[in-house]
Structure 1
Amino acid sequence: MEWYVYQKGSSPIRKVSRRGRSHLKRNLLIVCIFVAAAGLLWCAVAFNRINNTATTAPMTKADAGIILGMAMWGDEPSPGLKERLDYGLKLYNEGMFSRIIVSGGLDKADYQYTEGQGMRNYLVAQGVPEDAILMENESTSTYENLKFSQKIMQQEGMTSVVIITHTYHGRRALEIAREIGYASPQLGLTESQTMSMLKYKTREILAYTKWKMQQLSM
Protein backbone atom coordinates (compact mmCIF):
# COMPACT_ATOMS: atom_id res chain seq x y z
CA MET A 1 0.00 0.00 0.00
CA GLU A 2 1.26 3.50 -0.84
CA TRP A 3 0.66 6.82 0.90
CA TYR A 4 0.51 10.11 -1.01
CA VAL A 5 1.73 13.41 0.39
CA TYR A 6 -0.21 16.45 -0.86
CA GLN A 7 0.33 20.16 -0.76
CA LYS A 8 -2.83 22.24 -0.58
CA GLY A 9 -4.26 22.92 -4.03
CA SER A 10 -1.74 20.74 -5.81
CA SER A 11 -1.24 17.21 -7.02
CA PRO A 12 0.66 14.52 -5.07
CA ILE A 13 4.36 15.34 -4.79
CA ARG A 14 5.70 12.23 -3.17
CA LYS A 15 4.76 8.65 -2.41
CA VAL A 16 5.68 7.05 0.91
CA SER A 17 5.37 3.28 1.10
CA ARG A 18 4.86 1.21 4.18
CA ARG A 19 8.25 -0.33 3.48
CA GLY A 20 9.84 3.14 3.62
CA ARG A 21 8.12 3.96 6.90
CA SER A 22 9.30 0.64 8.37
CA HIS A 23 12.87 1.36 7.23
CA LEU A 24 12.76 4.79 8.89
CA LYS A 25 11.53 3.30 12.17
CA ARG A 26 14.28 0.69 12.09
CA ASN A 27 16.94 3.36 11.55
CA LEU A 28 15.58 5.42 14.43
CA LEU A 29 15.63 2.34 16.66
CA ILE A 30 19.25 1.63 15.72
CA VAL A 31 20.21 5.24 16.55
CA CYS A 32 18.44 5.03 19.91
CA ILE A 33 20.18 1.75 20.76
CA PHE A 34 23.55 3.21 19.76
CA VAL A 35 23.01 6.33 21.89
CA ALA A 36 21.90 4.24 24.88
CA ALA A 37 24.91 1.93 24.52
CA ALA A 38 27.29 4.88 24.24
CA GLY A 39 25.72 6.40 27.35
CA LEU A 40 26.12 3.21 29.34
CA LEU A 41 29.71 2.85 28.17
CA TRP A 42 30.52 6.41 29.26
CA CYS A 43 28.90 5.81 32.66
CA ALA A 44 31.13 2.75 33.08
CA VAL A 45 34.22 4.77 32.14
CA ALA A 46 33.28 7.62 34.48
CA PHE A 47 32.53 5.22 37.35
CA ASN A 48 35.88 3.51 36.88
CA ARG A 49 37.72 6.84 36.99
CA ILE A 50 35.79 7.98 40.06
CA ASN A 51 36.31 4.66 41.82
CA ASN A 52 40.04 4.42 41.14
CA THR A 53 41.29 7.73 42.47
CA ALA A 54 43.33 7.59 45.66
CA THR A 55 45.21 9.77 48.11
CA THR A 56 48.57 10.91 46.78
CA ALA A 57 51.27 8.57 48.05
CA PRO A 58 53.80 9.36 49.20
CA MET A 59 52.40 12.75 50.14
CA THR A 60 54.92 15.57 50.47
CA LYS A 61 54.66 18.67 52.62
CA ALA A 62 52.75 21.52 51.00
CA ASP A 63 52.14 25.19 51.66
CA ALA A 64 48.41 24.69 52.22
CA GLY A 65 45.59 22.22 52.46
CA ILE A 66 42.33 23.16 50.73
CA ILE A 67 39.28 21.56 52.33
CA LEU A 68 36.46 21.57 49.79
CA GLY A 69 33.09 22.59 51.12
CA MET A 70 29.96 20.53 51.50
CA ALA A 71 26.51 21.14 52.95
CA MET A 72 25.98 22.87 56.26
CA TRP A 73 23.23 21.63 58.54
CA GLY A 74 22.09 24.90 60.01
CA ASP A 75 25.00 26.37 61.99
CA GLU A 76 26.97 23.12 61.98
CA PRO A 77 28.87 21.26 59.24
CA SER A 78 26.97 18.24 57.97
CA PRO A 79 28.33 14.80 58.94
CA GLY A 80 29.92 14.48 55.50
CA LEU A 81 31.61 17.86 55.78
CA LYS A 82 32.88 16.96 59.25
CA GLU A 83 34.58 13.93 57.71
CA ARG A 84 36.50 16.19 55.33
CA LEU A 85 37.36 18.57 58.15
CA ASP A 86 38.54 15.80 60.45
CA TYR A 87 40.75 14.35 57.74
CA GLY A 88 42.16 17.79 56.93
CA LEU A 89 42.80 18.32 60.64
CA LYS A 90 44.63 14.99 60.80
CA LEU A 91 46.94 15.99 57.94
CA TYR A 92 47.48 19.42 59.51
CA ASN A 93 48.45 17.87 62.85
CA GLU A 94 50.84 15.53 61.02
CA GLY A 95 52.60 18.60 59.63
CA MET A 96 51.65 18.09 55.97
CA PHE A 97 50.83 21.82 55.67
CA SER A 98 50.85 24.84 57.96
CA ARG A 99 47.89 26.73 56.48
CA ILE A 100 44.35 25.57 55.79
CA ILE A 101 42.03 27.09 53.20
CA VAL A 102 38.36 26.38 53.86
CA SER A 103 36.18 26.87 50.81
CA GLY A 104 32.42 27.12 50.36
CA GLY A 105 29.63 29.67 50.01
CA LEU A 106 26.18 30.09 51.52
CA ASP A 107 23.91 27.05 51.23
CA LYS A 108 20.62 28.76 52.09
CA ALA A 109 19.67 32.41 52.47
CA ASP A 110 18.48 31.94 56.07
CA TYR A 111 21.68 30.21 57.24
CA GLN A 112 23.86 32.17 59.64
CA TYR A 113 27.15 30.89 58.23
CA THR A 114 28.59 30.08 54.84
CA GLU A 115 30.27 26.71 54.44
CA GLY A 116 33.63 28.45 54.77
CA GLN A 117 32.63 30.17 58.01
CA GLY A 118 31.16 26.99 59.46
CA MET A 119 34.31 25.08 58.56
CA ARG A 120 36.55 27.72 60.13
CA ASN A 121 34.46 27.69 63.33
CA TYR A 122 34.72 23.90 63.51
CA LEU A 123 38.51 23.89 63.08
CA VAL A 124 39.02 26.66 65.62
CA ALA A 125 36.94 24.65 68.11
CA GLN A 126 39.31 21.73 67.44
CA GLY A 127 42.32 23.84 68.38
CA VAL A 128 43.54 25.20 65.04
CA PRO A 129 44.80 28.80 65.44
CA GLU A 130 42.66 31.32 63.61
CA ASP A 131 45.67 32.78 61.81
CA ALA A 132 46.38 29.36 60.29
CA ILE A 133 43.00 29.35 58.53
CA LEU A 134 42.24 31.23 55.32
CA MET A 135 38.61 31.43 54.28
CA GLU A 136 36.92 31.45 50.89
CA ASN A 137 33.18 31.83 51.26
CA GLU A 138 31.78 32.79 47.85
CA SER A 139 32.00 29.57 45.82
CA THR A 140 29.00 27.51 44.76
CA SER A 141 30.73 24.64 42.90
CA THR A 142 33.89 22.55 42.96
CA TYR A 143 35.28 24.61 40.08
CA GLU A 144 34.73 27.83 42.05
CA ASN A 145 36.09 26.22 45.24
CA LEU A 146 39.38 25.65 43.50
CA LYS A 147 39.44 28.80 41.38
CA PHE A 148 38.76 31.15 44.28
CA SER A 149 41.11 29.26 46.60
CA GLN A 150 43.81 29.55 43.95
CA LYS A 151 43.51 33.35 44.15
CA ILE A 152 44.04 33.18 47.92
CA MET A 153 47.13 31.03 47.40
CA GLN A 154 48.54 33.51 44.90
CA GLN A 155 47.91 36.42 47.26
CA GLU A 156 49.70 34.57 50.06
CA GLY A 157 52.61 33.45 47.88
CA MET A 158 51.74 29.76 48.23
CA THR A 159 52.47 27.34 45.39
CA SER A 160 51.93 23.78 46.67
CA VAL A 161 48.71 22.28 47.93
CA VAL A 162 46.88 19.20 49.16
CA ILE A 163 43.24 19.12 48.06
CA ILE A 164 41.07 17.47 50.72
CA THR A 165 37.74 15.87 49.90
CA HIS A 166 36.00 12.49 49.75
CA THR A 167 37.35 9.67 47.59
CA TYR A 168 34.37 9.68 45.21
CA HIS A 169 34.95 13.42 44.56
CA GLY A 170 38.71 13.28 44.12
CA ARG A 171 38.98 12.61 40.37
CA ARG A 172 36.93 15.64 39.37
CA ALA A 173 38.67 17.89 41.89
CA LEU A 174 42.09 16.81 40.63
CA GLU A 175 41.20 17.32 36.97
CA ILE A 176 39.79 20.79 37.66
CA ALA A 177 42.87 21.79 39.66
CA ARG A 178 45.17 20.71 36.85
CA GLU A 179 43.03 22.41 34.21
CA ILE A 180 43.11 25.81 35.93
CA GLY A 181 46.83 25.74 36.58
CA TYR A 182 47.61 24.26 39.98
CA ALA A 183 51.21 23.07 40.09
CA SER A 184 51.36 19.33 40.91
CA PRO A 185 48.29 19.28 43.19
CA GLN A 186 48.14 16.43 45.69
CA LEU A 187 45.01 14.69 46.92
CA GLY A 188 44.05 13.89 50.49
CA LEU A 189 40.97 11.67 50.25
CA THR A 190 38.78 10.21 52.95
CA GLU A 191 36.11 7.52 52.72
CA SER A 192 32.67 8.33 54.07
CA GLN A 193 31.07 6.41 56.89
CA THR A 194 27.97 8.62 56.96
CA MET A 195 26.80 8.99 53.34
CA SER A 196 25.17 6.59 50.88
CA MET A 197 27.77 5.89 48.20
CA LEU A 198 25.07 4.63 45.82
CA LYS A 199 23.52 8.08 45.92
CA TYR A 200 26.69 10.14 45.89
CA LYS A 201 28.60 8.13 43.30
CA THR A 202 25.57 8.23 41.00
CA ARG A 203 25.40 11.99 41.40
CA GLU A 204 29.14 12.24 40.86
CA ILE A 205 28.89 10.45 37.51
CA LEU A 206 26.50 13.19 36.38
CA ALA A 207 28.71 15.92 37.85
CA TYR A 208 31.81 14.44 36.24
CA THR A 209 30.03 14.26 32.88
CA LYS A 210 29.04 17.92 33.20
CA TRP A 211 32.65 18.81 34.03
CA LYS A 212 33.99 16.98 30.96
CA MET A 213 31.54 18.90 28.77
CA GLN A 214 32.59 22.15 30.42
CA GLN A 215 36.23 21.24 29.88
CA LEU A 216 35.66 20.89 26.12
CA SER A 217 34.58 24.53 25.93
CA MET A 218 37.53 25.90 27.92
Structure 2
Amino acid sequence: MIYALKIAYTLLFPPGIIIVLLLSIALRLQQKREFIGSLLVGVAALVLCATSLPYIGNEFLQSIEQRYSPPKQFSGDVLIMLTGGATQDTPNPLTGGEGYLSPSTSARVLTTVELYRNTKLPIILSGGQVFSDTGNESQIAKRHLLALGVPDSAITLDDTSRNTKENAANAVTILNQKSWERPILVTSAFHMARAVKQFQKHKVNVIPYPTDFQTNRKQTIYFSKFIPSSSGLSTTTMALKEYLGLLGARK
Protein backbone atom coordinates (compact mmCIF):
# COMPACT_ATOMS: atom_id res chain seq x y z
CA MET A 1 0.00 0.00 0.00
CA ILE A 2 2.76 2.44 0.91
CA TYR A 3 4.51 1.93 -2.43
CA ALA A 4 1.26 2.49 -4.31
CA LEU A 5 0.83 5.79 -2.46
CA LYS A 6 4.41 6.80 -3.33
CA ILE A 7 3.78 6.13 -7.02
CA ALA A 8 0.50 8.05 -6.98
CA TYR A 9 2.13 10.95 -5.12
CA THR A 10 5.00 11.04 -7.62
CA LEU A 11 2.71 11.13 -10.63
CA LEU A 12 0.72 14.07 -9.23
CA PHE A 13 3.69 16.44 -8.95
CA PRO A 14 6.70 17.34 -11.10
CA PRO A 15 8.61 15.71 -12.59
CA GLY A 16 6.19 12.75 -12.60
CA ILE A 17 3.21 14.66 -13.98
CA ILE A 18 5.43 16.20 -16.69
CA ILE A 19 6.66 12.74 -17.73
CA VAL A 20 3.06 11.51 -17.97
CA LEU A 21 2.06 14.54 -20.04
CA LEU A 22 5.01 14.11 -22.40
CA LEU A 23 4.22 10.43 -22.92
CA SER A 24 0.58 11.32 -23.57
CA ILE A 25 1.64 13.88 -26.18
CA ALA A 26 4.00 11.35 -27.77
CA LEU A 27 1.18 8.81 -27.99
CA ARG A 28 -1.18 11.38 -29.50
CA LEU A 29 1.42 12.39 -32.10
CA GLN A 30 1.96 8.76 -33.01
CA GLN A 31 -1.77 8.29 -33.53
CA LYS A 32 -1.65 11.24 -35.94
CA ARG A 33 1.30 9.54 -37.71
CA GLU A 34 3.64 12.35 -36.74
CA PHE A 35 6.38 9.86 -35.97
CA ILE A 36 9.36 12.25 -35.75
CA GLY A 37 7.57 14.50 -33.28
CA SER A 38 6.37 11.49 -31.32
CA LEU A 39 9.90 10.12 -31.15
CA LEU A 40 11.41 13.43 -29.97
CA VAL A 41 8.79 13.94 -27.27
CA GLY A 42 9.10 10.32 -26.18
CA VAL A 43 12.88 10.61 -25.88
CA ALA A 44 12.47 13.81 -23.86
CA ALA A 45 10.13 11.97 -21.48
CA LEU A 46 12.59 9.08 -21.09
CA VAL A 47 15.53 11.42 -20.45
CA LEU A 48 13.54 13.33 -17.84
CA CYS A 49 12.47 10.06 -16.25
CA ALA A 50 16.02 8.66 -16.12
CA THR A 51 17.55 11.83 -14.69
CA SER A 52 14.81 12.01 -12.07
CA LEU A 53 15.50 8.55 -10.65
CA PRO A 54 17.15 8.80 -7.21
CA TYR A 55 19.32 5.78 -8.06
CA ILE A 56 20.76 7.50 -11.15
CA GLY A 57 21.27 10.80 -9.33
CA ASN A 58 23.03 9.09 -6.44
CA GLU A 59 25.33 7.18 -8.78
CA PHE A 60 26.33 10.37 -10.59
CA LEU A 61 26.92 12.35 -7.40
CA GLN A 62 28.67 9.46 -5.69
CA SER A 63 31.24 9.37 -8.51
CA ILE A 64 32.14 12.98 -7.65
CA GLU A 65 31.99 12.70 -3.87
CA GLN A 66 34.20 9.63 -3.62
CA ARG A 67 37.21 11.32 -5.20
CA TYR A 68 38.34 12.59 -1.80
CA SER A 69 37.97 11.44 1.80
CA PRO A 70 38.72 13.32 5.02
CA PRO A 71 42.33 12.44 5.94
CA LYS A 72 42.84 10.69 9.28
CA GLN A 73 46.16 12.46 9.76
CA PHE A 74 47.17 15.78 8.27
CA SER A 75 49.42 18.74 8.91
CA GLY A 76 48.64 22.26 7.73
CA ASP A 77 49.01 25.88 8.74
CA VAL A 78 45.60 27.34 7.80
CA LEU A 79 41.99 26.25 7.20
CA ILE A 80 40.21 27.54 4.10
CA MET A 81 36.43 27.19 4.16
CA LEU A 82 34.48 27.89 0.99
CA THR A 83 30.90 29.04 1.46
CA GLY A 84 27.95 27.84 -0.58
CA GLY A 85 24.83 29.94 -0.21
CA ALA A 86 22.90 32.07 2.28
CA THR A 87 19.64 33.96 2.52
CA GLN A 88 19.77 37.73 2.90
CA ASP A 89 17.06 39.11 5.16
CA THR A 90 15.74 36.19 7.19
CA PRO A 91 15.91 36.99 10.92
CA ASN A 92 18.69 35.26 12.86
CA PRO A 93 18.71 36.86 16.33
CA LEU A 94 20.93 34.22 17.94
CA THR A 95 23.92 35.37 15.89
CA GLY A 96 23.04 39.05 16.04
CA GLY A 97 22.09 39.67 12.45
CA GLU A 98 20.07 38.65 9.42
CA GLY A 99 20.57 35.82 6.96
CA TYR A 100 20.72 32.04 7.23
CA LEU A 101 23.34 29.78 5.76
CA SER A 102 22.38 27.08 3.27
CA PRO A 103 22.49 23.50 4.58
CA SER A 104 25.76 22.88 2.72
CA THR A 105 27.43 25.99 4.13
CA SER A 106 26.19 25.11 7.62
CA ALA A 107 27.80 21.67 7.34
CA ARG A 108 31.07 23.29 6.25
CA VAL A 109 30.93 25.67 9.24
CA LEU A 110 30.42 22.75 11.62
CA THR A 111 33.41 20.87 10.18
CA THR A 112 35.55 24.01 10.28
CA VAL A 113 34.72 24.55 13.96
CA GLU A 114 35.60 20.92 14.73
CA LEU A 115 38.90 21.26 12.87
CA TYR A 116 39.69 24.54 14.62
CA ARG A 117 39.09 23.02 18.04
CA ASN A 118 41.48 20.18 17.18
CA THR A 119 44.18 22.24 15.47
CA LYS A 120 43.79 25.90 16.57
CA LEU A 121 44.74 26.86 13.01
CA PRO A 122 43.69 30.24 11.57
CA ILE A 123 40.69 30.25 9.25
CA ILE A 124 40.07 31.89 5.87
CA LEU A 125 36.37 32.24 5.05
CA SER A 126 35.88 32.65 1.31
CA GLY A 127 32.57 33.63 -0.26
CA GLY A 128 30.62 36.84 -0.73
CA GLN A 129 27.23 38.00 -1.96
CA VAL A 130 26.49 36.18 -5.21
CA PHE A 131 23.14 37.76 -6.16
CA SER A 132 21.35 40.94 -5.13
CA ASP A 133 18.84 38.96 -3.05
CA THR A 134 21.30 36.60 -1.31
CA GLY A 135 23.34 37.19 1.82
CA ASN A 136 27.05 37.80 2.18
CA GLU A 137 28.04 34.24 2.94
CA SER A 138 31.38 34.78 4.69
CA GLN A 139 30.02 37.52 6.93
CA ILE A 140 27.11 35.32 8.03
CA ALA A 141 29.40 32.29 8.45
CA LYS A 142 31.75 34.37 10.60
CA ARG A 143 28.90 35.21 12.98
CA HIS A 144 28.27 31.50 13.43
CA LEU A 145 31.95 30.76 14.01
CA LEU A 146 32.09 33.47 16.66
CA ALA A 147 28.92 32.12 18.31
CA LEU A 148 30.52 28.66 18.42
CA GLY A 149 33.60 29.92 20.21
CA VAL A 150 36.09 30.67 17.44
CA PRO A 151 37.91 33.93 18.29
CA ASP A 152 37.71 36.86 15.90
CA SER A 153 41.50 36.99 15.73
CA ALA A 154 41.55 33.53 14.11
CA ILE A 155 39.30 34.51 11.17
CA THR A 156 40.29 36.20 7.91
CA LEU A 157 37.52 37.13 5.49
CA ASP A 158 37.33 37.03 1.72
CA ASP A 159 33.78 38.34 1.46
CA THR A 160 33.87 39.33 -2.22
CA SER A 161 34.15 35.98 -4.08
CA ARG A 162 31.13 35.01 -6.17
CA ASN A 163 32.22 31.62 -7.53
CA THR A 164 34.82 28.90 -7.07
CA LYS A 165 37.28 30.53 -9.43
CA GLU A 166 37.22 33.73 -7.39
CA ASN A 167 37.35 31.71 -4.14
CA ALA A 168 40.66 30.20 -5.18
CA ALA A 169 42.16 33.43 -6.55
CA ASN A 170 41.27 35.53 -3.51
CA ALA A 171 42.24 32.83 -1.01
CA VAL A 172 45.63 32.41 -2.69
CA THR A 173 46.20 36.18 -2.38
CA ILE A 174 45.58 35.91 1.37
CA LEU A 175 47.87 32.86 1.62
CA ASN A 176 50.67 34.83 0.01
CA GLN A 177 50.08 37.88 2.23
CA LYS A 178 50.13 35.75 5.40
CA SER A 179 52.93 33.39 4.23
CA TRP A 180 50.72 30.35 4.76
CA GLU A 181 51.86 27.39 2.68
CA ARG A 182 49.91 24.27 3.72
CA PRO A 183 46.20 25.07 3.44
CA ILE A 184 43.54 22.59 4.47
CA LEU A 185 40.52 23.06 2.21
CA VAL A 186 37.03 22.55 3.64
CA THR A 187 34.06 22.34 1.29
CA SER A 188 31.25 19.95 0.39
CA ALA A 189 32.34 16.57 -0.96
CA PHE A 190 30.48 17.16 -4.23
CA HIS A 191 32.30 20.49 -4.68
CA MET A 192 35.79 19.40 -3.63
CA ALA A 193 37.12 18.13 -6.98
CA ARG A 194 36.24 21.39 -8.75
CA ALA A 195 37.66 23.49 -5.92
CA VAL A 196 40.95 21.57 -5.88
CA LYS A 197 41.32 22.13 -9.64
CA GLN A 198 40.93 25.88 -9.20
CA PHE A 199 43.64 26.00 -6.53
CA GLN A 200 45.92 23.86 -8.68
CA LYS A 201 45.63 26.47 -11.44
CA HIS A 202 47.36 28.83 -8.99
CA LYS A 203 49.99 26.16 -8.26
CA VAL A 204 48.67 25.70 -4.72
CA ASN A 205 48.32 22.14 -3.44
CA VAL A 206 45.61 22.05 -0.82
CA ILE A 207 44.87 19.27 1.65
CA PRO A 208 41.25 18.32 0.83
CA TYR A 209 38.94 17.88 3.81
CA PRO A 210 35.51 17.15 2.31
CA THR A 211 32.33 17.40 4.34
CA ASP A 212 28.57 17.58 3.72
CA PHE A 213 28.41 14.20 1.95
CA GLN A 214 25.08 13.77 0.13
CA THR A 215 25.40 10.08 -0.73
CA ASN A 216 26.41 6.90 1.05
CA ARG A 217 29.63 5.12 0.09
CA LYS A 218 27.54 2.08 -0.80
CA GLN A 219 24.13 2.68 -2.30
CA THR A 220 21.29 0.48 -1.06
CA ILE A 221 18.77 -0.52 -3.71
CA TYR A 222 15.06 -0.40 -2.95
CA PHE A 223 11.82 0.34 -4.74
CA SER A 224 11.56 4.11 -4.33
CA LYS A 225 15.07 4.62 -5.78
CA PHE A 226 13.46 3.89 -9.17
CA ILE A 227 10.51 6.27 -8.87
CA PRO A 228 11.07 9.68 -10.55
CA SER A 229 11.21 12.48 -8.01
CA SER A 230 12.20 16.11 -7.71
CA SER A 231 14.95 15.14 -5.25
CA GLY A 232 16.36 12.64 -7.75
CA LEU A 233 16.38 15.31 -10.47
CA SER A 234 18.05 17.77 -8.08
CA THR A 235 20.80 15.26 -7.25
CA THR A 236 21.45 14.56 -10.93
CA THR A 237 21.54 18.29 -11.68
CA MET A 238 24.03 18.86 -8.86
CA ALA A 239 26.33 16.16 -10.22
CA LEU A 240 26.10 17.42 -13.81
CA LYS A 241 26.90 20.95 -12.64
CA GLU A 242 30.08 19.69 -10.98
CA TYR A 243 31.14 17.73 -14.07
CA LEU A 244 30.65 20.84 -16.21
CA GLY A 245 32.58 22.86 -13.64
CA LEU A 246 35.45 20.39 -13.82
CA LEU A 247 35.54 20.76 -17.59
CA GLY A 248 35.61 24.53 -17.25
CA ALA A 249 38.39 24.39 -14.63
CA ARG A 250 40.70 22.66 -17.10
CA LYS A 251 40.81 25.69 -19.39
Same fold by TM-score greater than 0.5? yes
- Deviations 1:60-115, CA, capped at 9 Å, x for gaps: 221111111111123121222111100111111111x510111111133255x511
State the secondary structure of the residue aligned to 1:67: strand
TM-score, structure 2 normalization: 0.60
Residue 79 of structure 1 aligns with which residue?
Answer: 103
Residue 179 of structure 1 aligns with which residue?
Answer: 201
1:209 aligned partner, one-letter code: L
- Larger Rg over CA atoms: 1
State the secondary structure of the residue aligned to 1:77: coil
Query: Of residues 191, 194, 212 in structure 1, which corresponds to 2:212?
Result: 191
TM-superposed deviation, 1:214: 4.5
1:134 aligned partner, one-letter code: T
Residue 118 of structure 2 aligns with which residue?
Answer: 94
Query: Of residues 149, 152, 166 in structure 2, which corresponds to 1:127?
Result: 149
1:84 aligned partner, one-letter code: R
* Alpha-carbon contact 1:83-1:192 (below 8 Å) kept: no
CA distance in 2, matches of 1:190, 1:166: 5
Q: Greater relative contact order: 1 or 2 (C-alpha under 8 angstroms, separation 6 or more)?
A: 2
TM-superposed deviation, 1:47: 5.5
* Alpha-carbon contact 1:136-1:149 (below 8 Å) kept: yes
TM-superposed deviation, 1:49: 4.7
* Alpha-carbon contact 1:59-1:186 (below 8 Å) kept: no
- Deviations 1:26-72, CA, capped at 9 Å, x for gaps: xxxxxxxxxxxxxxxxx9x9757513222342432211111111111
Query: Of residues 185, 202, 205 in structure 1, which corresponds to 2:237?
Result: 202
Structure 1 portions without partners, runs of 5+: 1-42
Residue 40 of structure 2 aligns with which residue?
Answer: none
CA distance in 1, matches of 2:60, 2:211: 19
* Alpha-carbon contact 2:186-2:210 (below 8 Å) kept: yes
Whether 1:118 and 2:118 are equivalent positions in the alignment is no
Residue 55 of structure 1 aligns with which residue?
Answer: 69
Query: Higher helix share goes to which structure?
Result: 2
Provide the aligned C-alpha RMSD in A: 2.9
Structure 2 portions without partners, runs of 5+: 1-56, 89-98, 215-230
Query: Higher strand share goes to which structure?
Result: 1
1:180 aligned partner, one-letter code: H
CA distance in 2, matches of 1:135, 1:87: 17
* Alpha-carbon contact 1:64-1:162 (below 8 Å) kept: yes
TM-score, structure 1 normalization: 0.68
CA distance in 2, matches of 1:94, 1:201: 35
TM-superposed deviation, 1:188: 1.0
